[in-house]
């Protein structure tokens, strides 16, 4: 393998581009690790570089595909001529039944080579994992592999009822291998630096809420608890800082009278010992539900930081869902569906109407907001051309300690089409909040302590 | 300490610890680069056990600082033995105060705690700072200082510098996010649930009497449970417990009744037991 130092630098650059913070100290350690481990065994190298460069388990999801590009399994296509689709499917079925990782990797390479190529001119050609999998359709092998295994084992064993899920996981692993192989081949053509930045899926916390798929949302839900713990630490630190207090100038001067007017001891202002209250107003309509569901779960996980948390959901009507959220701890993935089932969120049409919903809040639940309350409104402020009802927002800001608006759309799109974001942003502090990472930062900064 | 990654695996295995390639590689590097090792992962995956096993194969003494909420300098670094100091003061009535003071702040009255203990002394040492996430943030500052210079200052006695740096293992269950600064000091190792093959080997090693077929089934069922998104997924410790239970019950295959009756050994929450029973198509409990 040529120039390991160059590869480490490239790898580090790509990881940094994905938001992994790596200092020069770690880079030096990585080089020493490569020296100590040698280049012969890729698996050891992978673990050694991960140990020196990463600081947390979540970073591994982006590290592995990037590593595969800078320290690839090999160069070029697989040995031997092209393999046709039916032969590939037969071999794949066997490898899945045997749970043979090495075979799966070899077959992934053959599949991409045989089925994944597109284009013919050197500038527009490449390899596509999507096309490979569409043609090969590994998921359709499930029944065949299961029957094969059942026939071999003789039936009746209890663990056989796990078989379907086990095979599904192996197929999932094969799909991942195909993705990695296609990226490797494309990187040979277009340069690994570019593919490592654009072709590797960012960690879930950097995916736009508005575009996150089902599995990414599921991955995000699993990060709620760790993120909440991190934020709790941060809030505690802010609370400690705030408790130290600011200098009370008047009282400092008054007490300085005993020292001849020279202020010897600063008098610190005492802080209110009560914890703040939080109210959440969440647009849960289809377009932004991924964002609001995640935020609600996060706030639920942080509820012991506040003396009171109340959560309201709306589409064009608004209803309190605090109780649903409370019971939702056991089943976070069902939260959104439960809210949409059990709360009254729509009147005689199904699209968002911020004006109606905010008006209903001010009217029916105005008492939920007092001088200790911080209000967060979550939504894209796309109100389907109905009246934004600015007076209702003014009324809420008048009663609350603070009002913030978190908008999952890029700030560049505020005010386009039916978005009334700029009008609301004149009345309340509005922040762009597109990803879980951004949300974590905002929540850590804006939540009252 | 070790000649190669394989050497690490082989010697750990002799003590009864079966290391994944990731574990063996990282332990090897921590020894080679002389950096502390931060091991993170769920409960019961062998983090504490790893530190003990490393101490054993290295022929090193194991010094353990068990962290908990409120652990402080006097528990982690050192403390003066006040009772003994008082006795000494009242015993020596006709000395000058200066003499007494010099005497009571001497070695004899010092109670060294794990961090100081690990830094003093010349013998090879493994310092295990266990469950670091349970300690308060202030403790991290102290650890960072000690792990940076490997020296501790006792104002009355002077500065103690390690003549031989201990092999340091910090563990964390990620109950609290450790600071970036502390993480940067360390090599990072995440131990998750083991691959099936490794877990079978662990079961064979810990519960040698269990039949091969049953060993395989146990590991498969545990794997399925881990994929279920339970409140507390079963760990290696539970797998081993379950295997022991099955052996004690004299079960020779895994069937519906056996699984239903022993699910409580692997799952600790009632909701989890119900969820798992439903997904495994067991009759209602
Ligand atoms: N790789 C392994 N090899 C041997 N035993 C293991 C391994 N992993 C876990 N165990 C077993 O699991 C149990 C729990 O390990 P422990 O170190 O206490 O977990 P943790 O500190 O991660 O919570 C130990 O009794 C140990 O026997
Ligand atoms: Mg432990």
Nearest neighbour of A51 by CB, restricted to B25, B174, B221: B25
Averaged pLDDT, B262-270: 91
Is pLDDT at A121 greater than 60 in this prediction? yes
pLDDT band of residue A2 (cuts 50, 70, 90) is low
**CA–CA separation, A375 vs A352, rounded Å?**
20
Of the ligands numbered here, which is closest to the C-alpha atom of B132? 2
Residue A48 CB-half CA count within 13 A: 29
Structure tokens at B147: 């792990």
In the reported structure, the alpha carbon of residue B244 is separated from the centroid of ligand 2 by a whole-number distance in angstroms of: 20
- Does the pLDDT of residue A328 top 60, yes or no? no
Task: Name the residue of chain B whose CA is nearest to A332's CA.
Answer: B229
- Comparing alpha-carbon positions, the chain A residue that sits nearest to B182 is A55
CA dist A49 and A59 (Å) reads 12
Q: Which of A195, A182, A183 is nearest to A14 (CA)?
A: A195
In eight-state DSSP terms, residue B161 is E
Q: Which residues contact B149 (CB under 8 A, 6 or more apart)?
A: B161
Work out the average pLDDT over B163-187: 91
Nearest residue of chain A to residue B196 (CA atoms): A99
pLDDT bin (cut points 50, 70, 90) of residue B10 is very high
B128, B52 in Cβ contact below 8 A? yes
State the Cα–Cα distance between residues B94 and B100, nearest whole angstrom.
10
Conformation bin of residue B74: beta by default, left when phi > 0, alpha when psi is -120 to 50: alpha
Q: Is the CB of residue A196 less than 8 Å from the CB of residue A61?
A: no
Q: Which atom of ligand 1 is nearest to the CA of B205?
A: 4
Low-confidence winner among A213-227, B14-28, B260-274 (lowest mean pLDDT): A213-227
d(CA A358, nearest CA chain B) in Å: 36
Angle separating helix axes A101-115 and A85-98, nearest 10 degrees: 160
User: CA B236 to CA B247: how far, in whole Å?
Assistant: 17
Contact A330 B231 (CB under 8 A): yes
What separation in angstroms does the CA of A211 have from each of A148, A434, A435?
A: 39, 10, 10
Residue A173 · residue B196 · CB < 8 Å:
no
Minimal Cα distance from B217: which residue of A?
A: A159
Quick check: A155 pLDDT over 60?
no
pLDDT of A344 over the 90 cut: no
Distance CA A54, CA B22 (A): 13
**Backbone angle region of A119, left / alpha / beta, with phi > 0 → left and psi within -120 to 50 → alpha:** left
Q: Is the confidence at residue B138, as pLDDT, over 60?
A: yes
Among B180, B188, B224, the residue with its CB nearest the CB of A162 is: B224
Which of A173-177, A245-249, B179-183, B231-235 is the least confident region? A245-249
Q: What is the mean pLDDT of residues A306-319?
A: 91
Query: Rounded mean pLDDT of chain B?
Result: 92
Helix (H) or strand (E) holding B80: strand B78-80
Q: Describe the strand order of the beta sheet including B37-40 as a list of residue ranges.
A: B61-66, B125-130, B167-172, B37-40, B187-190
Select the CATH number that applies to the domain covering A224-242+274-446 from these four: 3.40.50.410, 3.90.550.10, 3.40.50.2300, 3.40.1130.10.
Answer: 3.40.50.410
What pLDDT does residue A422 have? Answer: 95
The per-residue pLDDT for A152 is: 80
Mutate to test the interface with B, among A35, A154, A159, A301 (most CBs of B within 10 A): A159
- Looking from the CA of A323 toward its CB, the CA atoms found within 13 Å total 4
Tens of pLDDT, residues A180-202: 999 999 999 888 998 998 888 88
- pLDDT 10s digits, A82-120: 788 999 999 999 999 999 999 999 999 999 999 998 887
Q: B273, B178, B219, B174: which is closest to A222 by C-alpha?
A: B174
Instruction: Give the mean pLDDT of B47-68.
Output: 97
- Identify the contact set of chain A against chain B, taking CB-CB distances under 8 A: 21, 23, 25-26, 29, 32-33, 36-37, 43-44, 47-48, 50-52, 54-57, 60, 157-159, 161-162, 165-166, 169, 226, 229-230, 233, 236-237, 330, 333
The beta-strand segments (E) located in A301-438 are 308-314, 318-320, 373-378, 402-407, 429-432
**Per-residue pLDDT at B217 exceeds 70:** yes
Angle at A61 between CA A58 and CA A66, to 5 degrees: 130
Encoded tokens for B206: 């810990």
For residues B273 and B225, give the distance between their C-alpha atoms in angstroms, rounded to a whole number.
Answer: 10
Specify the pLDDT at position A257: 61
Q: For residues A267 and B185, give the distance between their C-alpha atoms in angstroms, rounded to a whole number.
A: 39
Which of A33, A57, A158 minimises the CB distance to B40? A57
Q: What is the mean pLDDT of residues A425-441?
A: 93
Residues of chain A in contact with residue B227, where contact means CB-CB under 8 angstroms, are 165, 169
Q: Is the pLDDT of residue A49 over 90?
A: yes
Residue B267 burial (10 A CB sphere; 0-12, 13-18, 19+): buried
State the pLDDT confidence band at B280, using cuts at 50, 70 and 90. confident
Question: How far from the centroid of its chain's Cα atoms is residue B266's Cα?
Answer: 21
- Chain A interface disruption, residue of B6, B20, B29, B32, most A CBs within 10 A: B29
pLDDT at A332 over 90: no
List phi, psi (to 5°) of B43: -65, 145
Over residues A232-240, mean pLDDT: 83
> Of all residues in chain A, what percent carry a pLDDT higher than 70?
91
pLDDT of residue A89: 96
pLDDT reported for residue A185:
93
- Where does residue A391 rank: exposed (0-12), middle (13-18), buried (19+ CB within 10 A)? middle
pLDDT above 80: residue B53? yes
* Between A332 and B118, the higher pLDDT residue: B118
A413 min Cα distance to partner chain B (Å): 35
pLDDT above 90: percentage of residues in chain A = 53
Tell me which DSSP letter residue A319 carries: E
Q: Is the pLDDT of residue A271 over 60?
A: no
Confidence of residue A333 (pLDDT cuts 50, 70, 90): confident
Ligand 1 interacting residues, C-beta cut-off 6 A: B 16-18, 43-49, 171, 202, 236-237, 240
> Residue B46 Cα, ligand 1 centroid: separation in angstroms?
3
pLDDT at A258: 61
Residues 6+ apart with CB under 8 A from B140: B132, B178, B179, B181, B182
Which candidate, A342, A338, A361, places its Cα nearest to that of A281?
A: A361
Residue A301: predicted pLDDT: 86
* Mean pLDDT value across chain A: 87
Distance B32 CA to ligand 1 centre (A): 24
pLDDT reading at A172 higher than 60: yes
- Of all protein residues, whose CA lies closest to atom 12 belonging to ligand 1? B237
Could A33 and B227 be called an inter-chain contact, meaning their C-beta atoms sit closer than 8 Å? no
- The CA angle B8-B11-B12, to the nearest 5 degrees, is 80
Beta strand pairing status for A277-283 and B125-130?
unpaired
Distance from CA of B189 to the nearest CA of A (A): 6
> Is A136's pLDDT higher than 60?
yes
| Residues of B within an 8 Å Cβ radius of A | 5, 21-22, 25-26, 28-30, 32-33, 35, 40-41, 137, 174-177, 180, 183-184, 187-190, 192, 216-217, 220-221, 223-224, 227, 229, 231, 253-256, 259, 271, 280-281
**Is the domain defined by B5-77+113-190 classed in CATH 3.40.50.620?**
no
B245: tokens are 């239970």
Q: In chain A, which residue's Cα lies nearest the Cα of B34? A: A29
CA distance A19 to A280: 29
Query: pLDDT per residue over A385-406, tens digit each?
Result: 889 999 999 999 999 999 999 9
Domain ranges of chain B: 5-77+113-190, 78-111, 196-279
* pLDDT score of A123 more than 70: no
> Three-class SS of residue B245?
helix
CB contact under 8 A, B33 and A43: no
The pLDDT of residue A448: 83
* B171 CA closest ligand 1 atom index: 21
Cα dist from A134 to A94, A139, B259, whole Å:
20, 10, 39
Entry pTM = 0.81
Closest CB to A229: pick one of B25, B176, B189: B176
Which chain A residue has its CA at the smallest distance from B223's CA? A166
CA B39 to ligand 2 center in whole angstroms = 10
ipTM of the shown complex: 0.92
**Residue A133 Cα, gap to closest chain B Cα (Å):** 24
Cβ–Cβ < 8 Å for A8, A48: no
A235 pLDDT band, cuts 50/70/90, is: confident
**Within a 13 Å sphere around the CA of A80, how many CA atoms are in the beta-carbon half?**
10
| SS3 state of residue B102 | helix
CA B60 to chain A, closest CA, distance in angstroms equals 23
Pocket test for ligand 1, best of B236, B240, B242, B268 (most atoms within 8 A of CB): B236
Tell how far the Cα of B172 is from the centroid of ligand 2, in angstroms: 8
Predicted confidence at residue A397, as pLDDT, reads 95
pLDDT of residue A272: 55
* Positive or negative: CA dihedral B125, A32, B27, B131: positive
Helices A163-190 and A101-115 meet at what angle, rounded to 10?
A: 50
Coil/strand/helix, residue A346: coil
């Amino acid at each position: 393998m040529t120039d390991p130092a160059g590869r480490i630098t490239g790898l580090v650059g790509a990881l940094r581009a994905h938001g992994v913070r790596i200092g020069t100290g770690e880079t030096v350690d990585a080089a020493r690790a490569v020296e100590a481990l040698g280049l012969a065994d890729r698996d050891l190298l992978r673990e050694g570089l991960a140990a020196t460069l990463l600081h947390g388990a979540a970073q591994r999801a982006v590290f592995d595909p990037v590593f595969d590009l800078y320290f690839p399994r090999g160069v070029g296509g697989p040995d031997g001529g092209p393999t046709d689709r039916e032969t590939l499917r037969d071999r794949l079925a066997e490898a899945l039944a045997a749970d043979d990782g090495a075979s799966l990797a070899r077959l992934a390479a053959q599949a991409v080579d045989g089925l994944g190529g597109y284009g013919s001119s050197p500038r527009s050609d490449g390899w596509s994992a999507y096309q490979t999998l569409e043609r090969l359709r590994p998921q359709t092998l499930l029944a065949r592999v299961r029957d094969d295994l059942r026939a071999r084992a003789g039936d009746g064993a209890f663990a056989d009822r796990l078989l379907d899920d086990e095979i599904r996981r192996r197929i999932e692993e094969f799909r991942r291998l195909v993705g990695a192989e296609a990226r490797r081949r494309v990187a040979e053509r277009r340069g690994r630096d570019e593919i490592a930045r654009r072709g590797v899926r960012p960690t879930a916390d950097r995916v736009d809420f508005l575009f996150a798929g089902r599995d990414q949302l599921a991955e995000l839900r699993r990060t709620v608890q760790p993120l909440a713990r991190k934020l709790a630490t941060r809030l505690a630190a802010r609370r400690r800082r705030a408790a130290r207090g600011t200098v009370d100038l008047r009282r400092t001067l008054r007490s300085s009278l005993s020292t001849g007017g020279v202020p010897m001891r600063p008098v610190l202002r005492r802080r209110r010992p009560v914890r703040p209250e939080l109210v959440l107003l969440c647009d849960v309509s289809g377009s932004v539900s991924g964002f609001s569901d995640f935020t609600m779960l996060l706030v639920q996980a942080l509820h012991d930081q506040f003396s009171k948390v109340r959560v309201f959901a709306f589409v064009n009507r608004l209803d309190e869902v605090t109780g649903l959220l409370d019971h939702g701890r056991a089943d976070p993935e069902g939260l959104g569906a439960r809210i949409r089932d059990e709360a009254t969120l729509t009147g005689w049409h199904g699209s968002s109407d911020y004006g109606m919903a905010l008006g209903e809040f001010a009217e029916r639940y105005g008492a939920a907001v007092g001088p200790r309350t911080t209000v967060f409104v979550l939504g894209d402020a796309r109100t389907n051309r109905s009246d934004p009802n600015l007076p209702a927002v003014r009324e809420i800001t008048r009663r609350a300690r603070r009002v913030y608006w978190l908008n999952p759309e890029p700030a560049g799109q505020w005010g386009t089409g039916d978005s009334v974001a700029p009008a609301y942003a004149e009345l309340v502090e509005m922040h762009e909040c597109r990803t879980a990472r951004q949300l974590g930062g905002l929540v850590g900064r804006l939540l009252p302590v | 300490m070790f000649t190669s990654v394989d050497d690490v695996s082989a010697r750990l295995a002799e003590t009864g610890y079966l290391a994944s390639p990731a574990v063996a590689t990282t332990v090897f590097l921590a020894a080679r680069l002389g950096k502390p090792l931060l091991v993170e992962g769920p409960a019961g995956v062998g983090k504490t056990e790893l530190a003990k096993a490393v101490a054993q194969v290295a022929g090193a003494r194991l010094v353990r600082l068990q962290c908990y909420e409120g652990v402080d300098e006097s528990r982690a670094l050192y403390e003066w033995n006040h009772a003994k100091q008082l006795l000494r003061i009242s015993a020596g009535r006709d000395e000058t105060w200066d003499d007494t003071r010099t005497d009571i702040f001497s070695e004899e009255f010092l109670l060294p705690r794990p961090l100081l203990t690990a830094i003093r002394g010349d013998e090879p040492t493994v310092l295990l700072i266990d469950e670091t996430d349970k300690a308060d943030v202030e403790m991290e500052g102290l650890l960072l200082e000690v792990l940076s210079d490997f020296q501790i200052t006792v104002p009355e006695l002077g500065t103690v510098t390690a003549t031989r740096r201990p092999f340091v293992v910090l563990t964390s269950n990620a109950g609290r996010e450790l600071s970036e600064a502390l993480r940067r000091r360390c090599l990072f190792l995440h131990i998750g649930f083991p691959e099936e093959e490794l877990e079978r080997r662990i079961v064979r090693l810990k519960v040698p009497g269990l039949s091969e077929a049953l060993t395989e089934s146990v590991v498969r069922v545990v794997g399925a449970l881990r994929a279920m998104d339970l409140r507390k997924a079963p760990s290696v410790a539970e797998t081993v417990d379950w295997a022991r239970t099955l052996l004690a019950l004299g079960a020779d295959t895994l069937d519906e009744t056996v699984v239903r009756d022993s699910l409580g050994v692997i799952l600790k929450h009632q909701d989890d037991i119900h969820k798992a029973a439903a997904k495994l198509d067991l009759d209602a409990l």
